[in-house]
Chain A
Amino acid sequence: MNFLTFLIRRLIGIVAVMLGVSVITFTISHLVPADPVAAALGDRAREDQVAAFRAEYGLDKPVVEQYFIYMNGLLHGDLGKSIRTRRPVADDLRDFFPATFELSLVALLVALVIGMPTGIWSALFRNRLPDHLVRLFALVGGSLPIFWLGLLLIGLFYSQLGWLPPGGRIDDFIPPPQTITGLFVLDSLLTANSAALRSSLHHLILPAFTLGYFSTAVISRMMRSSMLEVLNQDYMRTARAKGLLERFVILRHGLRNALIPTLTIIGLTFGSLLSGAVLTETIFTWPGLGRYATASAIGLDFPAVMGVTLLAAIVYPVANLIVDLGYAWLDPRIRNA
């Protein structure tokens, strides 16, 4: 089997998964015992208004038919209309996704930048003080309710110290950069807008750390155990025996090998970042997909719930595909497996 077949097989797999995902999300969003129309139309709606609304959203049709109408729309890029915002769901997702994507990317970066060195450090000083500190740090990261962490961080860094903003993506009085990608940091860089860049980075610090702490912990632990394992390998002993400087040995052999399992973690982490974004965005009034998802679920806004879950569910398989492609490129044995 060559590389192309591998890729095609995986892509077909993803499509199959997405089909399953669509069935599940559709089923869930139509489990709803209550009628979303009531809230959408307010207290005084008359019967004719309710009927018109139900017709507008296709609620007057049998559920199976609704599913096929939905899937047909989906193939044409139409995700239906949100009951809550009364806008096409695709428009809503396009508006809210970049904020979440930016936050998740930066959180992942935070996780890598903190998680990898602390993991290595921990392994090198195994069972000594630095190791204990890092392990405690990782333990807390893996056990904290992140919404609670967010509350504490705002209390400390905004209310008490006044160093960092409590929420939002950019300062009220700094215009957001011209929209190219929707990622404020990237757009500011592309348009050489230093004020927007500074402000958006400033606004990213607390939410990105809050969101990334859990992944930091996972990566740190992963890195530590990989390093320990590598340090015990024969070739490492050989290298050391040859008299090379230990530091050099570690960098040259250990780090590289330990990176491989960490790559896998990145794929897995993306899914958990999206979960965490729901809570992080609530605390930091971050105008992203997580908050949109929450509001939609609360509002029984089923077209929006379906749109969000579909989008969220495609991120994880795609991230994993990319990671696997990385592996396959690295090693023919996996590609052919």
Chain B
Amino acid sequence: MAEQAQTQAALALPARMDAPRPRARPALLRSPLTIAGLALMAVFVACALTASVLAPYDPIKQFLSQRLKPPSPEHWMGTDQLGRDLFSRMLFGAQISLTIGVGVVAPVAVFGTILGLVAGYAGGLLDEILMRVTDVFLAFPPLILAMAIAGALGPSLTNAMIAIAVVSWPVYVRLVRGQVLSLRQREFVEAARAIGASTPRILSQHLLPNLLAPLLVQATFDLGGTILIAAGLSFIGFGAQIPTPEWGVMISDGRKYVTTQPWLPLFPGLAILVTVAAFNLIGDGLRDALDPRLRGNL
């Protein structure tokens, strides 16, 4: 499932972005699909940020006498096996998914970018070693490696995030290194070098800004991919601990009730679908906008 991000961005993102890219924003808002994606993401982020205000109930407060009630005006999405309000749990679930997504993707992107810059710019033995290491990590099917790590560390949300981070960083190294290799030959880098700019300065002032576009696209896809893989880990028992209202755990708990109280697994599944779809739509839109040659194609 994390392959998603890898395949979509790594394959479909051509390694030939030109340096300046001024028209990104208007282009991004031209596609109705992208606007839909942005709107969905806005809803998701809004739910996540305001969960504690919006939620009609405490997401972990139990009302055993009210357990397994179908959706009703009091409980919009019904109640779960402990009589907790599903709607409130869904809202807090958005918060947790956002935390997982950002908490994994942000550090991984930074770490991967640094290594990629180093590898691409330094070249030589260091580059070779780093590339072989990424080869090793990319050889694992992501969920299997993440599961092995999460299993060894013990089930918890933090450990699941660590596990996902371990399987996702190599993509960024590859991406950034590829970009650096093509960019470093360009005139503006050559020029900077010619006037005697230091290596860190060239990296941070000249290369990094030009890397932001592909990085942003990759990170957007990865946000969705991370939420999916985290849900998968939770589903098989390596994720969030009770009473955390994590969507994957809610599906996993709810599957016992799929025939009797189908709303329990239904709503969290839909929430994951919509959220991940939003990130995918935005990723597509960004890519189109940032690469005019492909605009409208994808």
Contacts and interface: CB of A to CB of B under 8 A. Distances in A.
**A and B: interacting chains:** yes
Contact of A145 (B137, B251, B298): B251
Given A17-B132, A274-B141, A148 B259 contact: no
Contact of B259 (A135, A155, A261): A155
A328 interface: no
A282 B236 contact: yes
Interface in B204-237: 224, 228, 231-232, 235-237
B272 to A, nearest CB: 5
Interface stretch (B6-14, B112-120, B187-195): B6-14
A143 B1 contact: no
B269 A297 contact: no
Given A20-B133, A145-B251, A25 B148 contact: yes
Contacts of A229: 297
B265 interface: yes
Interface string B120-152: 000000000000110111111111110111111
A28 interface: yes
Interface string A260-281: 0100110011011011101100
A313 B7 contact: no
A279 B272 CA distance: 16
A286 interface: no
A127 B296 CA distance: 9
Contacts, number: 181
A155 B259 CA distance: 8
Nearest to B252: A147
A297 B238 contact: yes
Nearest to A300: B151
A216 to B, nearest CB: 13
B140 A312 contact: yes
A218 B237 CA distance: 28
A326 interface: no
A50 B135 CA distance: 39
Interface string B50-61: 000000000000
A259 to B, nearest CB: 15
A310 B195 CA distance: 50
Contact of A228 (B33, B139, B258, B297): B297
Interface of B: 1-4, 6-8, 11-12, 33, 132-133, 135-145, 147-154, 224, 228, 231-232, 235-238, 248, 251, 255, 258-259, 262, 265, 269, 272-274, 276-277, 280-281, 294, 296-298
Given A293-B144, A294-B236, 18 more contacts: A16-B132, A28-B152, A29-B148, A34-B154, A142-B4, A143-B276, A159-B259, A224-B298, A225-B294, A268-B6, A269-B3, A275-B142, A275-B143, A275-B144, A278-B147, A294-B147, A297-B150, A297-B238
The 6 closest A-B pairs by CB, nearest first: A297-B151, A272-B3, A20-B136, A275-B143, A148-B269, A143-B276
20 contacts: A17-B139, A24-B136, A28-B149, A33-B154, A139-B280, A145-B232, A146-B1, A151-B258, A222-B11, A261-B11, A268-B7, A269-B3, A271-B142, A274-B141, A275-B144, A276-B143, A278-B232, A278-B236, A314-B139, A317-B139
